Amino acid sequence: MAGFKFRQYVPVLIHLLAWGLIGPLLLFQPRNWRVEIPDEWWIKQILLYGLLILVFYANERVLVPGLLFRNRILWFVLALAGVVMGVYWFIQGIEWWLNLPELWHRAFRPNEPFDPRRERRFDMFTVLYALLVLGISTSVAAVQKWQKDAQVRENLERDKIASELSFLKAQINPHFFFNTLNNIYALTMIDVEAAREALHKLSRMMRYVLYDTQESTVRLSQEIDFIRDYIQLMQLRLTDKVTVNLIVPMPVQDVLIAPMLLLPFVENAFKHGISALNDSKISIKIEQQGRQLRVEICNTRFAEQPTNLEHGNGIGLVNTRRRLDLLYSNRYELDVTQKTPENEYKVILNLSC
């Protein structure tokens, strides 16, 4: 946004620069001449200066938006040519009305008779001034349109990202609670006390989701505590055949991270990496070096269960990849290994917070 705070003053600076250059060229150019300048010449120059200001803003506010920006290029060129011709003939009329050709003739060649037919010559400077003003005003209008369009694009992109993130988080949260409530329901059939403990943990997790995650970021320690609660909640219904290891940095350096960003990977490991009949293992390792975060999640791979991030009911995983693209573009690496030599499914996320 700092770039836009500067760019909003660019047109003003161009205006000041333009008139700061054109004014001296028009009004102070002949001060070094060794002749007496007629007073009428100054009147003509002031009128020309005012006319060029009128041409400047007429082109910037009317011709450029009405013709050039609507892709009517030919009409725009013809309009500019007409403006240049109008300025030229208007100034020529002013010069003859003020009798400037004769006055200049007396100033430079006082001993020669004045012949109006010989004094008619093409005024190149007036044409150049008009072209210069039209060129600058067209550039100013183009810069202003570019600035406005860039601001609109940034606002639209920001609104799009905000709406997409709200939608993605809204999908992730019900997906998590759907699975968790199923777990608690199953637990009520086995151990009522354990189910009560699970409901207590779930209420604490719900407070995190409903209140803490309303902000765009949370502290890393909060996210790790949430993951730890989730794992403990899941372990209430696991058998002895499942081994779960959680390794977190000690102490945690609190950096800001998108809320519930890691949960889908952990949830996927529990969903596809455990078995009621076979030994299985889930390993979750979170490492931190300053603002660099490395998350490694491994789970036992079972042939009959799909573990691909893009298949099955893993809507949270698909959305997490999308959230990473939106929030951490060019600041993350996600490496997914479908089958390691140890017959494990491995996800490694490197993130710059």
How confident is the model at residue 292, as a pLDDT?
93
Confidence bin at 143 (pLDDT 50/70/90): confident
pLDDT digits (tens, 9 = 90+) for 51-63: 888 998 899 899 9
Cα distance between residue 87 and residue 67, in whole Å:
20
pLDDT digits (tens, 9 = 90+) for 85-126: 999 898 888 888 877 776 766 666 666 666 666 656 677 888
Lowest-pLDDT range of 113-127, 133-147, 164-178, 320-334: 164-178
Q: Judge whether residue 295 has pLDDT over 70.
A: yes
Whole-model pTM above 0.75? no
Sign, CA dihedral 224-230-233-237, equals: negative
Q: Judge whether residue 225 has pLDDT over 80.
A: yes
Cα distance between residue 316 and residue 172, in whole Å:
5
Label the pairing between strands 218-219 and 256-257. antiparallel
**319 CA to centre of own chain:** 21
Q: Judge whether residue 18 has pLDDT over 80.
A: no
Confidence bin at 4 (pLDDT 50/70/90): very low
How confident is the model at residue 110, as a pLDDT?
63
The CATH fold of domain 190-352: Heat Shock Protein 90 (3.30.565)
How confident is the model at residue 153, as a pLDDT?
83
Cα distance between residue 350 and residue 286, in whole Å:
10
pLDDT digits (tens, 9 = 90+) for 303-314: 655 545 444 444
348 CB-near residues (< 8 Å, 6+ apart) = 294, 295, 296, 297, 333, 334, 335, 336, 337
Mean pLDDT of 209-228: 86
Map out the domains of the chain as residue ranges. 2-154, 190-352
Q: Judge whether residue 37 has pLDDT over 60.
A: yes
3-class DSSP assignment, residue 334: strand
At residue 167, what is the residue type? Answer: F
How confident is the model at residue 3, as a pLDDT?
46
263 CB-near residues (< 8 Å, 6+ apart) = 172, 176, 226, 227, 230, 316
pLDDT digits (tens, 9 = 90+) for 174-192: 666 777 788 788 878 888 8
The alpha-carbon radius of gyration of the chain (Å, integer) is 37
Cα distance between residue 45 and residue 31, in whole Å:
13
> What are the distances in angstroms from CA 207 to CA 215, 267, 327?
13, 19, 24
Label the pairing between strands 332-337 and 344-352. antiparallel
Cα distance between residue 55 and residue 91, in whole Å:
13
At residue 233, what is the residue type? Answer: L
CB 183 within 8 Å of CB 198: yes
pLDDT digits (tens, 9 = 90+) for 231-289: 988 887 777 889 999 999 988 888 999 888 888 899 888 888 888 788 889 999 999 99
Q: Judge whether residue 2 has pLDDT over 50.
A: no
Closest CA to 139 of 128, 131, 151: 131
